A = this chain, B = another copy of it.
Amino acid sequence: MATTRRQFDKDVALDAAMKVFWRKGYASASLADLTKTMGINKPSMYSAFGNKEALFIKATQLYIDTIIEPTGQLLSLKELPLKERLRNYMMRALELQCDPNNMKGCYLAFCRSEVSTGEIPAQAENMLKEFDVIPPPAYINLFKDDPESIELGLDKKAYENAMAIFTILKGTASMARSGVDKANLEFCIDSVIAGIGLK
Protein backbone atom coordinates (compact mmCIF):
# COMPACT_ATOMS: atom_id res chain seq x y z
CA MET A 1 0.00 0.00 0.00
CA ALA A 2 1.11 3.56 -0.67
CA THR A 3 0.50 6.57 1.54
CA THR A 4 0.69 10.23 0.63
CA ARG A 5 2.11 12.67 3.14
CA ARG A 6 0.19 15.73 4.17
CA GLN A 7 1.51 18.77 2.36
CA PHE A 8 1.07 21.14 5.29
CA ASP A 9 2.53 21.15 8.80
CA LYS A 10 -0.26 20.32 11.24
CA ASP A 11 1.48 22.12 14.11
CA VAL A 12 1.95 25.29 12.11
CA ALA A 13 -1.67 25.17 10.98
CA LEU A 14 -2.89 24.65 14.56
CA ASP A 15 -0.82 27.58 15.77
CA ALA A 16 -2.39 29.73 13.07
CA ALA A 17 -5.86 28.53 14.10
CA MET A 18 -5.12 29.37 17.72
CA LYS A 19 -4.30 32.93 16.77
CA VAL A 20 -7.55 33.28 14.86
CA PHE A 21 -9.57 32.03 17.86
CA TRP A 22 -7.54 34.35 20.09
CA ARG A 23 -8.49 37.31 17.92
CA LYS A 24 -12.09 36.41 17.08
CA GLY A 25 -13.27 34.04 19.76
CA TYR A 26 -15.08 30.82 18.89
CA ALA A 27 -18.33 31.97 17.34
CA SER A 28 -16.95 34.78 15.19
CA ALA A 29 -14.06 32.75 13.83
CA SER A 30 -15.50 31.46 10.57
CA LEU A 31 -14.14 28.45 8.74
CA ALA A 32 -13.21 30.85 5.96
CA ASP A 33 -11.15 32.93 8.44
CA LEU A 34 -9.56 29.86 9.93
CA THR A 35 -8.66 27.95 6.78
CA LYS A 36 -7.40 31.06 5.03
CA THR A 37 -5.02 31.87 7.90
CA MET A 38 -4.06 28.20 8.23
CA GLY A 39 -3.27 28.16 4.52
CA ILE A 40 -5.39 25.09 3.80
CA ASN A 41 -8.82 24.17 2.44
CA LYS A 42 -11.85 23.21 4.42
CA PRO A 43 -11.67 19.47 3.64
CA SER A 44 -8.02 19.45 4.75
CA MET A 45 -9.01 21.00 8.06
CA TYR A 46 -11.82 18.52 8.57
CA SER A 47 -9.62 15.51 7.79
CA ALA A 48 -6.80 16.75 10.00
CA PHE A 49 -8.76 18.05 13.01
CA GLY A 50 -12.34 16.74 12.80
CA ASN A 51 -14.51 19.84 12.95
CA LYS A 52 -14.53 23.42 14.23
CA GLU A 53 -15.10 22.42 17.84
CA ALA A 54 -12.31 19.82 17.82
CA LEU A 55 -9.99 22.36 16.23
CA PHE A 56 -10.86 24.85 18.96
CA ILE A 57 -10.18 22.30 21.68
CA LYS A 58 -6.75 21.49 20.22
CA ALA A 59 -5.99 25.19 19.79
CA THR A 60 -6.98 25.86 23.40
CA GLN A 61 -4.75 23.04 24.61
CA LEU A 62 -1.88 24.51 22.58
CA TYR A 63 -2.38 27.87 24.33
CA ILE A 64 -2.41 26.20 27.73
CA ASP A 65 0.73 24.19 26.98
CA THR A 66 2.76 27.01 25.46
CA ILE A 67 1.57 30.06 27.41
CA ILE A 68 -0.25 29.21 30.64
CA GLU A 69 1.85 26.27 31.84
CA PRO A 70 5.36 27.75 31.37
CA THR A 71 4.27 30.98 33.06
CA GLY A 72 2.78 29.06 35.97
CA GLN A 73 6.17 27.46 36.60
CA LEU A 74 7.40 30.82 37.84
CA LEU A 75 5.27 30.36 40.97
CA SER A 76 7.22 27.23 41.92
CA LEU A 77 10.68 28.79 42.13
CA LYS A 78 10.96 28.20 45.86
CA GLU A 79 14.40 29.81 46.14
CA LEU A 80 12.90 33.28 45.72
CA PRO A 81 10.97 35.17 48.42
CA LEU A 82 7.20 34.89 48.02
CA LYS A 83 6.64 38.50 47.05
CA GLU A 84 9.35 38.46 44.41
CA ARG A 85 8.14 35.12 43.06
CA LEU A 86 4.56 36.33 42.80
CA ARG A 87 5.61 39.62 41.27
CA ASN A 88 7.80 37.90 38.68
CA TYR A 89 4.90 35.65 37.75
CA MET A 90 2.41 38.47 37.44
CA MET A 91 4.76 40.68 35.47
CA ARG A 92 5.47 37.83 33.09
CA ALA A 93 1.74 37.27 32.65
CA LEU A 94 1.33 40.99 31.97
CA GLU A 95 4.19 40.93 29.49
CA LEU A 96 2.48 38.15 27.54
CA GLN A 97 -0.85 39.96 27.64
CA CYS A 98 0.79 43.06 26.18
CA ASP A 99 3.27 41.39 23.81
CA PRO A 100 3.34 43.64 20.73
CA ASN A 101 4.37 40.67 18.58
CA ASN A 102 1.31 38.62 19.50
CA MET A 103 -2.41 38.90 20.01
CA LYS A 104 -3.17 41.12 23.00
CA GLY A 105 -4.88 39.93 26.16
CA CYS A 106 -5.50 36.36 27.29
CA TYR A 107 -6.93 33.69 25.01
CA LEU A 108 -8.58 31.93 27.94
CA ALA A 109 -10.07 35.05 29.49
CA PHE A 110 -11.43 36.18 26.14
CA CYS A 111 -12.95 32.89 25.07
CA ARG A 112 -14.18 32.14 28.61
CA SER A 113 -16.41 35.19 28.40
CA GLU A 114 -18.10 33.62 25.37
CA VAL A 115 -19.39 30.80 27.58
CA SER A 116 -22.06 33.11 28.98
CA THR A 117 -23.40 33.79 25.48
CA GLY A 118 -24.38 30.18 24.90
CA GLU A 119 -22.61 30.19 21.54
CA ILE A 120 -19.97 27.61 22.42
CA PRO A 121 -20.60 23.86 21.99
CA ALA A 122 -20.66 21.72 25.14
CA GLN A 123 -17.26 20.03 24.92
CA ALA A 124 -15.41 23.25 24.18
CA GLU A 125 -17.29 24.99 26.98
CA ASN A 126 -16.33 22.31 29.48
CA MET A 127 -12.68 22.66 28.53
CA LEU A 128 -12.72 26.42 28.99
CA LYS A 129 -14.30 26.02 32.41
CA GLU A 130 -11.92 23.25 33.43
CA PHE A 131 -8.83 25.32 32.68
CA ASP A 132 -10.21 28.55 34.02
CA VAL A 133 -11.16 27.52 37.55
CA ILE A 134 -11.95 30.50 39.78
CA PRO A 135 -9.65 31.12 41.55
CA PRO A 136 -6.89 28.77 40.32
CA PRO A 137 -5.89 26.18 42.96
CA ALA A 138 -2.22 27.09 42.38
CA TYR A 139 -2.95 30.60 43.66
CA ILE A 140 -4.79 29.33 46.73
CA ASN A 141 -2.05 26.84 47.58
CA LEU A 142 0.57 29.54 47.20
CA PHE A 143 -0.93 31.40 50.13
CA LYS A 144 -2.00 28.33 52.07
CA ASP A 145 1.26 26.38 52.04
CA ASP A 146 4.09 28.88 51.73
CA PRO A 147 5.96 29.45 55.04
CA GLU A 148 6.32 33.17 54.36
CA SER A 149 2.60 33.47 53.66
CA ILE A 150 1.78 31.65 56.88
CA GLU A 151 4.16 33.85 58.85
CA LEU A 152 2.43 36.96 57.50
CA GLY A 153 -0.98 35.44 58.25
CA LEU A 154 -1.96 35.55 54.59
CA ASP A 155 -2.92 31.88 54.70
CA LYS A 156 -6.00 32.85 56.71
CA LYS A 157 -7.26 34.65 53.62
CA ALA A 158 -5.74 32.33 51.02
CA TYR A 159 -8.92 32.16 48.98
CA GLU A 160 -9.48 35.93 49.04
CA ASN A 161 -5.87 36.68 48.17
CA ALA A 162 -5.96 34.20 45.30
CA MET A 163 -9.12 35.84 44.04
CA ALA A 164 -7.49 39.29 44.16
CA ILE A 165 -4.50 38.08 42.13
CA PHE A 166 -6.71 36.38 39.57
CA THR A 167 -9.10 39.31 39.31
CA ILE A 168 -6.44 41.94 38.67
CA LEU A 169 -4.88 39.73 35.98
CA LYS A 170 -8.30 39.41 34.33
CA GLY A 171 -8.47 43.18 34.48
CA THR A 172 -5.08 43.70 32.88
CA ALA A 173 -6.02 41.15 30.20
CA SER A 174 -9.08 43.23 29.42
CA MET A 175 -7.01 46.43 29.33
CA ALA A 176 -4.31 44.85 27.18
CA ARG A 177 -7.00 43.67 24.78
CA SER A 178 -8.07 47.31 24.42
CA GLY A 179 -4.54 48.32 23.52
CA VAL A 180 -3.10 49.52 26.85
CA ASP A 181 0.59 48.69 27.06
CA LYS A 182 2.62 47.06 29.81
CA ALA A 183 4.12 50.26 31.21
CA ASN A 184 0.65 51.59 32.02
CA LEU A 185 -0.44 48.45 33.85
CA GLU A 186 2.53 47.55 36.05
CA PHE A 187 1.32 49.91 38.77
CA CYS A 188 -1.97 47.99 39.03
CA ILE A 189 -0.11 44.80 39.86
CA ASP A 190 2.09 46.44 42.45
CA SER A 191 -1.01 48.00 44.01
CA VAL A 192 -2.64 44.63 44.53
CA ILE A 193 0.54 43.04 45.85
CA ALA A 194 0.80 45.86 48.36
CA GLY A 195 -2.92 45.77 49.08
CA ILE A 196 -3.02 42.15 50.20
CA GLY A 197 -0.20 42.86 52.67
CA LEU A 198 2.73 41.07 51.01
CA LYS A 199 6.03 42.45 52.24
With an 8 A cutoff between CB atoms, is A138 at the interface? no
A25 surroundings in chain B (CB, below 8 A): 117
Residue from B116, B118, B192 within 8 A of A104 (CB atoms): B116
Q: A178: which B residues are within 8 A, CB to CB? A: 112-113, 115-116, 132, 134
| Chain B residues in 8 Å Cβ range of A116 | 23, 104-105, 177-178
For residue A25, give the distance in angstroms from its CB to the closest CB of chain B: 6
List of B residues within 8 angstroms of A172 by Cβ: 167, 171
Chain B residue contacts of A23, Cβ below 8 A = 116-118
Residues of A in contact with B (beta carbons under 8 Å apart)? 23-25, 27-28, 104-105, 109-110, 112-113, 115-119, 132, 134, 157, 160-161, 163-164, 166-175, 177-178, 180, 184-185, 187-188, 190-196
